Amino acid sequence: MSTTYDPMTGEPIETPDDIKDNVENKEASVENSTDEKVDSVTEATVNEANDTVNASEQSTTDNASTQSYEQADDFGGDEGASDKKAPKIVLGIIAAVALIAIICLIIFSGAFSKKKKVEKACAATLNIETQLIKDLKPVLKTMSSDQVTTNYSVSIDDMGDITGSVIVNGKDKQVTANIDVDELPKLTAKVGIDSKTVKAEIPEVIDKVFVYNYKEAKDGYITDMLDDEDIESIDKALQTIYDAQNSADPDDNKFAIETAKLIRKYSKELQFEKEDSKEFKIDGKKVNAKGISVEVDSDLIVDFWDDFTDLYLEEFGEEFEDIEDMTGESIKDTFKEVKSELKSFPDTEIIFYIYKGKLASIDIDAGKRNGEVEVLFKGGDFRAQNISIEADGEEVFELKGSKKNDKETYTFVVQDEEVCTLTYNTKKGSLTFEYSDGYDDYEYEAKIESKGDSFKIIVEDIEVSYDTYADIEIEIVKGAKIQKYSGSEEFDIGNADEDEFTELLDDVDEDIIDELSYLF
């Protein structure tokens, strides 16, 4: 594939190399007027260079995929779009996303019997019972607690070690680090945030605790270095970081509750009908599964998305405005782009095939343009252990799962190519991840130790660069205690004047700086 650029927007367009060759052949016939002035550039390349810009633009855009104009038109939906089908892998992904959305809709749905059967079948199918998930459940519970400490240790060959902790105690947060790297002095660092201030120290370099109060107005040299808008952005960002908090109590999560209500409201619009049975291969045997269909109106999905957008922006919009000011990325634009994608989706018929109270298949007929997608639950030790997704009869994705003795293995296959494999040895507690990036094959093994509320994962021999490896250990424990700062006095960053900043240099440990200067 080659990259061409949309002349209107600058967006890159991937074109197959045969289209690029057509462009080159057309341009080769244009006469060159400057070749006698060129010494070292070959005549062929100068011939190509001397085509007019308009001629090269026209022929390139005529031959490039029509997708380039669809991409340039942000909110145009599918009006005027060609009949060309989306690539099969995209169909598979869209189907998966639509599937998750539809499953959410029906799981929370109401009382009619056919709907209830589908609802129960989905829940039963997705109740995934692997040993790995069972072993990970305690750590997920710990991580969602509002008091958790994550201890980390990174050891890099021929370089040294970095250890420390990430401590979360309600909304108070702190990160500590102990750095022991060859040829450098040992250093410790702490940085943390509480309800009013951010504090930081590296005591070996300077015996002060740097304090920044993000709640109060600032009056020092910092107001000369940064303008008011920048300071306000920094303060808002820090407030957002402080406010981010795990909540163990689901009733606190107003957003989740309102979303569930929204889903229930729209699911009542869905009508389920009985369909003919169909044959499938499940657990290695041919079986007949009963069908239940539902027609999903695309307007319904778009209306749901509109209401969801309003709800989301009401809850989180203010925080995203601050991020937008800093980054230029607009969350509203993102929601609009998703809406545009949903608008282009036609009315869709979905048929759920159910065998012994669990899903055998979900067939999605998304109309002539988008084709048919089938998600097959092939079973094994449990129904969702082996899944494949077919688009217009061709397999685009497969999850191959198996359990033998103490090993659970899951292989992900995309368009007949094995992308990665996850193997969990339930006896040893080791998780192996294998993947290929197209050049080399990689294998990472992690050891998992789970004890009560604490969880440890150890990964050895990660290649961090050519011929350099690292071992990483992460331990997550319930409970948290913010560590004290050891500096003998505080330095108020927000209110210190220029002289006080200059005087900092006098307090810095010169020996340490000499040793660190090697880095620069």
Partner 1 sequence: MVNVSGIYKSYGKNRILAGASLTAKPGELVALVGKNGCGKSTLLQIMAGTMKADSGTVSYFGKSDKKIFEKFTGFVPQNDPLLEDLSVYDNLRFWAAGKETDTEYLKLFELEDLLKVKVSTLSGGMKRRLSIACSLERKPPVMLMDEPSSSLDFYYQDSIRSWMLDFKKRNGIIIFSTHNETEIMISDVVYIFDDGILKRIEKEDINMDDIRNSFLISDK
* Unique residue bearing structure tokens 């350099």: 468
In the complex, least distance from residue 464 CB atom to partner 1, rounded to whole angstroms: 9
Are 188 and 165 spatial neighbours (Cβ–Cβ below 8 Å)? Answer: no
Which are the contacts of 260, defined by CB distance < 8 A and separation ≥ 6?
Answer: 108
382 to each of 130, 272, 359, 387, how far by Cα in Å? 9, 26, 11, 11
| Number of chain positions touching partner 1 (CB under 8 A) | 39
Nearer to partner 1, 32 or 155 (CB): 32
Decide if residue 25 touches partner 1 (CB under 8 A): no
Decide if residue 46 touches partner 1 (CB under 8 A): yes
Which tokens is 446 given? 């992690």
Closest C-alpha to 290, from 203, 211, 356: 356
**One character per residue 54-83, x = contact with partner 1 (rule: CB under 8 A):** --xx--x-----------------------
Phi, psi of 24 (to 5 degrees): -60, -40
Decide if residue 53 touches partner 1 (CB under 8 A): yes
In the complex, least distance from residue 73 CB atom to partner 1, rounded to whole angstroms: 14
Q: Which of residues 364-403 bind partner 1 (CB under 8 A)?
A: none
Nearer to partner 1, 24 or 497 (CB): 24
Q: Which of residues 448-507 bind partner 1 (CB under 8 A)?
A: 465-466
Candidates 1-9, 251-259, 383-391, 471-479; binding stretch for partner 1 (CB under 8 A):
1-9
- Helices 254-267, 298-327: inter-axial angle, 10-degree rounding: 160
Decide if residue 21 touches partner 1 (CB under 8 A): no
Q: Which of residues 428-457 bind partner 1 (CB under 8 A)?
A: 437-439
Q: Which of 18, 31, 39, 158 binds partner 1 (CB under 8 A)?
A: 39
Q: Which of residues 317-356 bind partner 1 (CB under 8 A)?
A: 327-329
Nearer to partner 1, 36 or 79 (CB): 36
Decide if residue 513 touches partner 1 (CB under 8 A): no
- Using a 10 angstrom Cβ sphere, with 0-12 exposed, 13-18 middle and 19 or more buried, the burial of residue 329 is exposed
H or E element that contains 66: none
* DSSP calls for 159-218: TEEEEEEEEEETTEEEEEEEEEETTS--EEEEEEE-SSEEEEE-TTTBSEEEEEESSS--
Decide if residue 38 touches partner 1 (CB under 8 A): yes
The torsion defined by the Cα of 37, 39, 45 and 50, in degrees rounded to 10, comes to -10
Q: Which of 21, 34, 419, 436 binds partner 1 (CB under 8 A)?
A: 34
Q: Which of 30, 49, 313, 474 binds partner 1 (CB under 8 A)?
A: 49
Q: Which residues bind partner 1 (CB under 8 A)?
A: 1-12, 23-24, 27, 34, 37-42, 45-46, 48-49, 51, 53, 56-57, 60, 327-329, 437-439, 465-466
